[in-house]
Amino acid sequence: MTPSPIDSRRLLLYGRAGCCLCEGLEQRLRALNLEQESLHLKLVVVDIDAPDCAAPLRARYDLEVPVLVLEETELPRVSPRLSGDGLRNWLQRVCATAPGSD
């Protein structure tokens, strides 16, 4: 049975426009087609410098971007060299151990 988009978990990417690490991670994640993969993740990109970004988020992640958060759980920092199958495998591991995973 294929899960509906409602069953997808939200993967937040906190970053900023013009940050090569943030933009590179976003591109690598989008290339994985996360919603179609067994992970069933919906990628949501949050620009911490956007005017509508809450000040506490900007303060928390200002010097830390890029940061991935699965639902409410901040994930370990991902290597900027990780892509393709390596990034997919890393996501499977961290998603399986994140609170709220089945």
Homologous superfamily of the 7-97 domain (CATH): Glutaredoxin (3.40.30.10)
What is the domain partition of the chain in residue ranges?
Answer: 7-97
Tens-digit pLDDT profile for the chain (102 aa)?
A: 344 445 678 999 999 999 999 999 999 999 998 887 677 899 999 999 999 999 999 999 999 999 999 988 999 999 988 988 999 999 989 888 876 655
pTM of the model: 0.85
C-alpha–C-alpha distance, residues 88 and 99, integer Å = 19
CA-based torsion, 15, 19, 23, 25: positive or negative: negative
CA 99 vs CA 26, 45, 95: distances in Å: 23, 21, 8
Residues 6+ apart with CB under 8 A from 59: none
